Amino acid sequence: MNYNHSNQNRNSRNRQPQPDVEVEEGQRFPLTIKRLGINGEGIGYYKHKTVFIPGALPDEVVVAEVTRIHARYLDAKIHKIRTKSPNRVEPRDAYAGNVGGFELEHLAYPAQLQFKRDVVVQSLEKYHPRGYMDYELRPTIGMEDPYAYRNKAQFQIRKIDDKVVAGLYKEGTHEVVDLETCSVQYPLTMTIMRAVVKMLQDLDVPIYDEEAESGIVKTVVIRVAVSTQQAQLVFVTNSQKLPKKRELLERIEAELPDVVSVMQNVNPGKTSLIWGEETKPLAGKTYIEEYLNKLRFNLSARAFLQLNPFMTEQLYAEGLKGLNLTADDNVIDAYSGVGTIGLSIASSAKEVRGMDTIAESVDDANQNAKQNGIQNAHYVAGKAEDVIPQWLALGWEPTALIVDPPRTGLDDTLLETILTTRPEKFVYISCNPSTMAQDLVKLTEVYNVDYIQSVDMMPQTARCEAVVRMHLR
């Protein structure tokens, strides 16, 4: 199914210089919403100037109120909706418009799936990789029930009016919104989070104060292995100390039997990063066990795993289908994490070799291979662009490559390594269509794109995962 090329003209117009428009903050005017932007915000045009308005949907007529004026565009909010979209639904979460992670909860799910395919379209039109107008863009694969899927809760802990709160930052601020419920979280993560908040309150554990840069507990991270119902709890602290640690651990053991691992991560001072360098065990095991594709995986505190366990097997199945492996294939698993992708495809290949920059993840990956009796998969710590040339120098020839990079896309040096190495079969799993499209500009110098399959790993958000199948020209 090829997409409609009329979008190209629309985007070309948007790249032209925006006209000067006399407008003031707080000014209101009627606005017809034409489409959704890549972050899920409504987009309309006021006197030919682009207006971004969160929460508005295509074909709606709203009264927009200007919140910020930029040289090239306007930010606005909805003052009133005059004509509602038939795709508008009532969000389950009252704070859906205040914090990230719920950008599309007001949009009916079938329309969310269509939007995620359109995000791929917009990204391709922005960067113009070779032949992009002829790519086959498949309909987005979605969930049967697009709620209660997130296996990890990473909530900021603060004190407001002597009450301990746990939640996410309000959009554009460092003000924590207390999330007592959260419809997209797997329920056990929220049960544990609310119990831990009560313990911190009862025991009067010092809570981090960002302005004063004092206090101890900054963040609580909870991950649940859905197949085993094992949970890991991590306290991210401002110092090595954790006051009331003994009482806290006693209560966790007594009240939260699903928590089999309690860890402390030390991350001192004011920083935008959630994790610090040091993670130490406090009680129980140092990992939890999850099953994917009938394989058992040990997950340490900082190990990467997809947030949606219900769609992860589907995503990896699409990756394997795209590779179309034979028993003679040598596969590179770049950005391998704990080996979830590579080990899932190892039975279809001659050998899998992977790498990751996080040493703990590599240790987990090799342990996961061992405990699942997989002898043809091996993992090393390092950057792909450093490791792959070393393997080539030793005479190992890869025939297939699968990458699952972070949101920033492929490292520039790795891109050059891929263009030099040129494995015949290539699957790119993307969690950011914009950087994917940017990477495809270089990759399509030597590869043809067969198709792009979008997969909804994060319903109710504007995030989109995509599987790109390529082959050498």
In angstroms, the CA 449 to CA 136 distance is 8
For 139-162, the pLDDT digits (tens) are 999 999 999 999 999 999 999 999
Q: Tell me: the pLDDT tens digits for 223-267?
A: 999 999 999 999 999 999 999 999 999 999 999 999 999 999 999
Answer whether residue 16 shows pLDDT above 80. no
Report the pLDDT averaged over residues 44-62.
96
Alpha carbons 373 and 355: distance in angstroms, whole number: 19
pLDDT of residue 285: 97
pLDDT band at 18 (very low <50, low <70, confident <90, very high): low
Reported as a single tens digit per residue, the pLDDT across 340-388 is 999 999 999 999 999 999 888 899 999 999 999 999 999 999 999 899 9
Mean pLDDT of the chain: 94
Instruction: Return all residues near 217 (Cβ < 8 A) that are at least 6 apart.
Output: 157, 200, 205, 206, 207, 208, 235, 236, 237, 238, 242
- pLDDT tens sequence across 265-299: 999 999 989 999 999 999 999 999 999 999 999 99
Residue 2 has pLDDT above 70, yes or no: no
How many Cβ atoms sit within 10 Å of the Cβ of residue 395? 6
> For the chain, what percent of residues have pLDDT higher than 90?
89
Q: Does position 321 have pLDDT exceeding 70, yes or no? A: yes
0.75 surpassed by pTM: yes
Q: Which long-range contacts (CB under 8 A, 24 or more apart) does 140-143 make?
A: 140/113, 140/114, 140/116, 140/454, 140/455, 140/456, 140/464, 141/311, 141/314, 141/318, 141/453, 141/454, 141/455, 141/456, 142/109, 142/112, 142/113, 142/456, 142/459, 143/308, 143/310, 143/311, 143/456, 143/459
pLDDT exceeds cutoff 60 at 27: yes
Q: pLDDT at residue 1 above 50? A: no
Q: What percent of the chain has pLDDT over 70?
A: 96
Determine the pLDDT at residue 130: 97
pLDDT tens digits, residue range 390-407?
Answer: 999 999 999 999 999 999
**pLDDT attached to residue 70:** 95
Q: Is the pLDDT of residue 15 over 70?
A: no
Name the pLDDT band for 11 (thresholds 50, 70, 90).
Answer: very low
Confidence of residue 3 (pLDDT cuts 50, 70, 90): very low
Q: How far apart are CA 25 and CA 382, in angstroms?
A: 50
pLDDT score at 303: 87
Res 12: pLDDT: 38
159-202 tens-digit pLDDT? 999 999 999 999 888 899 999 999 999 999 999 999 999 999 99
Q: Please give the positions annotated as active site.
A: 431
